[in-house]
Amino acid sequence: MRVDGTVASDDESGRSGGNTDFGSAWARVKRRLRAELGEDVFASWFARLELEGVSAGTARLTVPTRFLKSWIESHYLDRVLGTFKAEAEEIARIEVGVRGTGAPARAAAVGVPKAGPASGPLARLHATNTPAPMAPAVATASEQRNADAGGDLSGTPLDARLTFSSFVIGRSNALAHAAAERVARHQGEGALYNPLYLHAGVGLGKTHLLHGIGHAAREAGRRVIYLTADRFMYGFVNALKTQSALAYKERLRGIDLLILDDVQFIQGKSIQAEFGHTINALIDAGRQVVVASDRPPTELEALDERVRSRLGGGLVVEITALDEALRVSILSARLAAVRTAHPGFDVSPQVATYVARAITANGRDLEGAVNRLLAHATLTGTAVTMETAESAIRDLVKNREPKRIKIEDIQKLVASRYNVSRSDILSERRTAAVVKPRQIAMYLSKVLTLRSLPEIGRRFGGRDHTTVLHAVRKIEKQIGEDAVLGDEVELLKRMLQD
């Protein structure tokens, strides 16, 4: 079975002449990378890195964009390989490819079979119908007119499965859904709620709504471009390299609706500046902008304050955690979708209720649970029982409520470790003996808690958020250069998490 829960073919079963469970090994690899690199770095570069299969000692990993592939290969490939080898000694090589290209991730090594399509019938969070293929990157009539006028504006292809009709509505997402549908179907002059800014944690449905907006707006004949943050960065950097940046910017600003996902990943001063100029130009021209992120605009510390203010000047809507009623609805819809492709697959109401109550983190975990139950039923030919369900989702249940770490606990532990007092860390003292543990404590507060930089600053004696950001960046840099410090910080992380 693949890491994402879909069933692999015999050639991609994750075994290479031994009994290693590569799916479990990959899950441990990602946990180690998260702990070693910090939450921000992990979320930026590794959260969407998936294991496609293992064959002949080669692990095939995939990411959604070429930009992400290039960055990981340039900066982290050796680290990923070393970490994977530590968990599964059979791994001798790593290959990174791009998902959704309609071709194998990249040229396979000799003797490695081509990857086939995922056999799991499940698609993305909240989809209720039997999944259809990914919408092809073929220009629609409106897109073709855009291309004739100065370039292709197809952007990232929209997923044909992620529409408003396949979105399961509940109390936590009703406002976001209503705003998204209103924006998508608006036909009057100007734009509504400009920009519309959706934010939510992982797997709560914001990307589904963005795709739904794109589909509905295109059906209404509007010129739409949907971009992930890394696709936006890749396009801009590529335009600079080919000396076509002006044409790229003009095409981007000549559309009716810009949809940008995962804006928190936008990095680089020049790219951030261009992002801000593009947002301003579109809004000032009355064009609709829709943005999604994992946090509200005020917490996008890396972005210029003027850009954050502009993003927060429209309608900001949070999609909150799924309540039990919505989890049950989503799970029921997913099970029904699976049964259309596997009529013999049956899950009793008691098992479904148990799964919906046990998994509370997000919809993707629910999807993963259904995939695991399907894999058990199809691979073993036995019925899904309560015992089967408990075993299949054990790790999902175990990981749904990580230990909640308090900033005060971080300050106390770091102070004790470096033989200073907590009051020293909170004080204005600037001696080296105090500054270093203070910066380490700030760094750990950022990577181990969900607190924003301004709030962390307040917890450290009322300091400004820029002081916290400086400390975080400094410790990140020193960890990369000083292995001893890296080990110290990793030990502190483990002590706080255990």
Residue 259 has pLDDT above 90, yes or no: yes
Residue type at 267 in one-letter notation: Q
Q: What is the pLDDT of residue 211?
A: 95
- 24-62: pLDDT as tens digits: 889 889 988 888 877 767 777 888 888 888 888 899 999
What are 289's strand-pairing partners?
Answer: 258
The rounded distance, in Å, linking the Cα atoms of 352 and 333 is 11
Residue 145 has pLDDT above 70, yes or no: no
DSSP 8-class letter at 137: S
The rounded distance, in Å, linking the Cα atoms of 283 and 191 is 8
- 197-251: pLDDT as tens digits: 999 888 889 999 999 999 999 998 888 999 988 888 887 777 777 777 777 777 7
Q: What is the pLDDT of residue 74?
A: 78
Structure-model confidence comparison of residues 155 and 193, the more confident one: 193
Q: What is the pLDDT of residue 402?
A: 54
Residue 310 has pLDDT above 70, yes or no: yes
- 290-307: pLDDT as tens digits: 999 988 998 887 788 888
Q: What is the pLDDT of residue 444?
A: 94
Q: What is the pLDDT of residue 363?
A: 80
Residue 414 has pLDDT above 90, yes or no: yes
Q: What is the pLDDT of residue 403?
A: 61
Copy the structure tokens of residue 275. 């992002």
Q: What is the pLDDT of residue 19?
A: 56
Residues whose CB falls within 8 Å of the CB of residue 196, separated by 6 or more in sequence, listed in order: 179, 180, 183, 288, 289, 290, 291, 314, 315, 317
**How many angstroms separate the Cα of 451 from the Cα of each of 201, 459, 466?**
14, 10, 14
* Over residues 113-119, mean pLDDT: 33
Residue 348 has pLDDT above 50, yes or no: yes
Residue 143 has pLDDT above 50, yes or no: no
* Over residues 121-143, mean pLDDT: 38
What is the 3-state secondary structure of 217-246?
HHHCCCCEEEEEHHHHHHHHHHHHHCCCHH
Residue 494 has pLDDT above 90, yes or no: no
Copy the structure tokens of residue 84. 């994977």
Residue type at 462 in one-letter notation: G
Mean pLDDT over all residues of the chain? Answer: 79
> What pTM does this model have?
0.55
